[in-house]
Amino acid sequence: MQKGKSLKDLFEENYTAVEVPAQNKKGYKIEYLYSGPWYIWDMPKDKLKREKWMELGLSLTGIFLYLFTGAANTPVNTSKLGVILAVLALCIHVLEIFALIKFICAGYRTTKMTYQEVDRILGAATGLRGILLCGVAFVAFVYAVTGGMDMLSLLVTAGYLGCGSIAFMIYRRYNKITFYTEKNRSLEGKQIIDKTVKGKDKTN
């Protein structure tokens, strides 16, 4: 969502009320058509579909590894700092999974609001999740060193590092996908195309 704009403002900015024929007393009804720009991920459809499912698969693998690692009876999983970092990472992960589902369900052309919602989480929050998980791994390693380098603590350290690495992998893969915008012609009689890629002009 754009800073300073409510959902109502965004709706009014991107949707237009139009009259359409209807079998009622007035002979028409009011419908709201999306009139904002179309956002299109700049990747062939089949490849984009595979990429979406790949990122969801990575995310689900990451959460299973996270739950398995977090269930281990080690000091980091009971320490205040470790728990705070891990819970924050989990909250972001839940949002990430919902964003990936929305990413998968989004059409090849999608609305401005859908694109921004997906992009805000996958384009930034996944990186933050990776940083938080690396923080947990660092705390786990400190406990491992001070605890005599026991094998379980080292495995937990590796587990959290693995979770963080998966988060960074999703972050990197998603941010490699550029996009362009296409002028919405639903309210116009002529075709006008305006393309940009990540805020930069894209020329054919």
**Rounded percentage of the chain residues whose pLDDT exceeds 90:** 54
By CB atoms closer than 10 A (0-12, 13-18, 19+), residue 15 is middle
Mean pLDDT of 7-33: 72
Predicted local confidence at residue 6, as pLDDT: 67
> Is 14 found in the same domain as 98?
no
Q: Could you give the CA distance from residue 158 to residue 144 in angstroms, rounded to a whole number? A: 11
State the residue for tokens 């054919």. Answer: 204
Mean pLDDT estimate for the chain: 84
Q: Are residues 80 and 24 part of one domain? A: no
**pLDDT at 2 exceeding the cut of 60:** no
3 and 58 assigned to the same domain? no
Regarding predicted confidence, which is higher, 183 or 82?
Answer: 82
Provide the residue range defining the domain that includes 13. 1-35
Which of 96-100, 108-112, 135-139 bottoms out in mean pLDDT, i.e. has the lowest? Answer: 108-112
Examine the domain organization and report whether 94 and 163 are in the same domain.
Answer: yes
Are 22 and 50 found together in one domain? no
- Does residue 18 lie in a domain region? yes
pLDDT in tens, 124-170: 899 999 999 999 999 999 998 887 778 888 999 999 999 999 999 99
| 148 falls within a domain | yes
The pLDDT value recorded for residue 149 is 78
Looking at the structure, do residues 76 and 164 belong to the same domain, yes or no?
yes
Q: Could you report the per-residue pLDDT of 189-200, keeping only the tens digit for each?
A: 333 334 444 443
pLDDT for residue 183 is more than 90 = no
63 and 131 in a single domain? The answer is yes
The pLDDT of residue 31: 75
pLDDT band at residue 188 under the 50/70/90 scheme: low
Q: Mean of the pLDDT values across residues 17-36?
A: 73
pLDDT at 196: 43
75: nearest Cα among 6, 136, 19, 166: 136
Give me the number of domains the chain comprises: 2
**pLDDT given for residue 68 in this prediction:** 94
Q: How confident is the model at residue 10 (pLDDT cuts 50, 70, 90)?
A: confident
**What is the Cα–Cα distance from 173 to 183, expressed in whole angstroms?**
27
Same domain, 84 and 165: yes
